[in-house]
Chains A and B, each alone.
Chain A
Amino acid sequence: MKREINIALFCVFLALAWTGCAKRDRPPVREVVVYASVDQVFSEPILRDFEKETGIKVRAVFDTEEAKSTGVMNRLIAEKGNPQADVFWANEPIRAEVLKQKGIADIYRSPQAEAIPEIYRDPEGYWTGFSARARVLVVNKQIQDPPTTIHAYTDPKWKGQGLIANPLFGTTTVHIAALFSKWGDEKAMAFMASMKTNAVGVSTSNGESADFVASGRYAFSLVDSDDAVSRMRQGKSIEMVYPDQGPDEPGCLIVPNAVVLIKGARHPDNARKLIDYLLSPETERKLAFADCAQIPLHSGVEIPKEMKALEAIKVMRIDYARVAETLQAIQPYLKEWVGL
């Protein structure tokens, strides 16, 4: 009998614990659900500030760039029929484009977006870019006469010394797709083939690429500017080069964050408030001074001294929607290139 009582008490405890959880989980009246593929260490403080300033409770699902945002993107796609998210904060605009093409994004033209250059906004209003990263060359400081162009990858002088993150995922895919979109398939495929001939190494992520260059295993690598800045702030032996800045060169690829209103959002008004907040110059200033060191797209926003303002960089002119289409078309080719 005593045993039965113990078991019953244990079950009651579990039930109470569960109820306690469920009570906390019950949505308050003022809330917004955001799925973020921007690393949690950078996105969470911004979302907490939004909570403090507006009183709107933020319930978030986070993912990481390292995990290639597998969690949130697949959740968003699988939840299409009954969306749970109100807002998607993407770490680059291509994922936002994928959501637009799959009918998961909704139109919202934020008043805060008016001062953001048009190139970084979806013309139909399905996504808006903010706080960007530049695709830069990170170079080991010991290297004499460091490369200044991405063509260093195919230059025999640098054979076996170049490194690139897996082009199947993340911002590296965006970069390769941008090259395909800009150069055309033939030239881009020749470039990729030359990279193979020139024994370019492939790492699992941009962060790892930056670490390998810092340790001297490779001379240079294309990475995101935040990966370079964070290693420079740690005192690692690297420098950051904005590639292809010459008069006849295409310029540096800019990869902004993108924010999307989800179609069928349960809290559309709060979602719009959060989007306005994310697109504000103040949020861009915070993200510039955070360790992610992102470049504001609003002009005149204060930035740390080691960063260049957007106006000071020669930017590669691309159409992000076209890049997204190209990206999906070249994925099988990239899979083969990587050897999977």
Chain B
Amino acid sequence: MTKRIVLSLAVGFLFLAGLLPLLLLLIQSVSEEGRLTFDAYRDLLFTKNQWILLGRSLVLAGLCALVSTVTGTTLGLILGKTDLPWRRTFTVLYALPLFVPPYIMAVSWFHILGREGLVRGLLGPTVAAVTSDWLLGLPGCVWILSSIFSPLVMLLTLAFIRGIPPRLEEAGRIVASWTGVLRHVTIPMILPAVMLSALLVFILTLGEFGVPHFLRYHVFPVEFFTQFAAFYDFRAATVMAMPLIGLTLMALAFERLCLRKKTYIIQSIGHGQRRLVIPLNRSRRVGILILVGTLSFMWTVLPLLTLLFESLSSSAYPRAWTLAGHSLMRSLVYSAIAATVLTMLGLLTGYLVHDRSFRFWMFLDSIILFLFALPGSVLGIGLILLWNRPVTQAVYASPMILLLGLVAKYAALTHRISVSTLEQIPASMEEAACMAGARWLRRFRQILIPLARPGLIVAWLTAFIFCMRDTELAMLVYPPGCDTLPVRTFTLMANGSSDLIAALCMIMVLGTLIPLGLLSLAMKGCWGGHVEYPISIRP
């Protein structure tokens, strides 16, 4: 009974935060002056140009998902399984682009590869013209978005690698080389994380408007932007979001198909257990180090260094702090609260899907991803239409409305990470507690939460990062006078001096990195407290 009440409350909260605003918009999209009409949908289906744009979006999202998944998984394996030096430093370096709103990275790359950029000074105008043409189009979009989303794949891979029991790899090493163990043990074990991250990158790229717009590569999101910006037509904008959501559901079905009939019962590493590390010989170590170092320089150091140099004027940081200090504090508080709510909610909905507690588990799973795929501006309008009423003024006029929006938008992250985490916990643990007479709440609190702790920390960190960088949704629902740092940076970018903008970006990176660093220090023991060292077992 308690289980049903708690899970129903979680579903109810999600319903209020995300589903109800969406339903309101969907109803509006099929009604005009009190009558049912599908005109807007018909117009969409019969316009050739929109299908072309949709195709371009699909190509961009597919390429980004492919590049990010291959690169992120490889990096995760290198940084999580080998004894490469400076692994932690590389992990942090690669993760940095994830902390910055994508359009800022695009601006930074424009300063490097544009016709007037760094390349012109170093290699001349002819090379700059070539790099600029390359940047302004599909290759530039794939390059920048992959550099931003690969860290997500890398971090999820790293988190899942930590959950692989050493005994499986040890057994594999008795009969096979490390290549064989990676192929037949490690990679299959982390496959749910790889598929999940590929799905997330696909959805994130599909809805991305800022980077393709800045790089003049027309994609489908430009359609609903046009409906908003030129026509102020909420109905058409909602309709325009539907194909993106359809593609998301197809990607979800593909993910389910790939993971069908596969079970991943993995035990968490206990205290005292040692994780196996692949020892690299000298030549491989140097080779991989050069490869990883070069990529991190190109993807992270170069664009962030450009921003850093741009920000190094005497007055930029004091001005940026005066203008945006309060916004940073607000961003930190809102994101911490939203990430905490999201982690709790994600664990409950993740449990519901994992346990199939309700018949509608598959619907819930789909609807959460549906909300993730929904453009932030569409969700924002839905929230305004639902909550901006005199009776709910206390919610709408406070940061609560932003919290509701963030929860609805990013529930997929914590929910899916929780599902994957719970899949790694053997059902026998909960069953044993049940046999011993422990009630559900106690089992949940004392068995599942402690075992899922590493996954929950990853979920919290992921949610925190995404809430910190959210611009599109926050832009529409932040209470007057209470903007967040990404919103303030975005609004100051228009005609603001470049050193000020660069300083704001650096403050944003540090503002995200410092609390994350402090948290990971405080939570160091939560990963299992094991000692890792390279071991070498010859078959």
Contact = CB atoms under 8 A, between A and B. Distances in A.
Interface of A: 10-11, 14, 17-18, 20-22, 25, 33-35, 39-42, 58-71, 73-75, 77-79, 81-82, 84-85, 98, 168-169, 173, 204, 207, 211, 215, 217, 226, 230, 291-292, 331, 334-335, 339-340
Contacts of B482: 21, 25, 59
B232 A74 contact: yes
B74 interface: no
Nearest to A27: B397
Contact of B492 (A17, A18, A25, A41): A41
A70 B480 contact: no
B388 A84 contact: yes
A64 B226 contact: no
B495 A42 contact: yes
A331 B333 CA distance: 42
Contacts of B229: 67-70, 73, 168-169
B223 interface: yes
Interface stretch (B12-20, B163-171, B377-385): B377-385
A95 to B, nearest CB: 9
Contacts of B337: 14, 17-18
A25 B476 contact: no
Given A14-B340, A59-B481, A340-B218, A215 B115 contact: yes
A80 to B, nearest CB: 9
Contacts of B399: 18, 21-22, 25
A217 B115 contact: yes
A226 B496 CA distance: 13
B292 to A, nearest CB: 36
A159 B266 CA distance: 67
B495 A78 contact: no
A340 B385 contact: no
B490 interface: yes
| Majority SS at the chain B contact face | helix
B284 to A, nearest CB: 42
Interface string B215-231: 01010001101101111
Contacts of B228: 70, 74
B330 A340 contact: no
A173 to B, nearest CB: 7
B49 A339 contact: yes
Contacts of A35: 480
B384 A75 contact: yes
B350 to A, nearest CB: 19
Interface of B: 49, 53, 115-116, 213-214, 216, 218, 222-223, 225-226, 228-232, 234, 330, 333-334, 336-337, 340, 377, 381, 384-385, 388-390, 393, 396-399, 475-476, 478-483, 488, 490-496
A231 B42 CA distance: 46
A79 B390 CA distance: 11
Nearest to A86: B480
A78 B389 contact: no
Nearest to A168: B230
Nearest to A24: B482
Contacts of A14: 336-337, 340
B20 to A, nearest CB: 15
Nearest to A214: B116
Nearest to A332: B231
B495 A98 contact: no
Contact of B493 (A64, A71, A331): A64
Contacts of A21: 330, 333-334, 399, 482
A41 B478 CA distance: 19
A204 B389 contact: no
B388 A41 contact: no
Contact of B494 (A41, A75, A169): A41
A33 B388 contact: no
A74 B333 contact: no
A334 B213 CA distance: 18
Given A10-B340, A17-B336, A63-B491, 4 more contacts: A64-B490, A82-B390, A98-B232, A340-B53
Contacts of B478: 61
A60 B492 contact: no
Contacts of B479: 25, 59
A340 B226 contact: yes
Contacts of B234: 74, 77-78
A207 B226 CA distance: 19
Contacts of B226: 168, 335, 340
B116 A215 contact: yes
Contacts of B330: 21
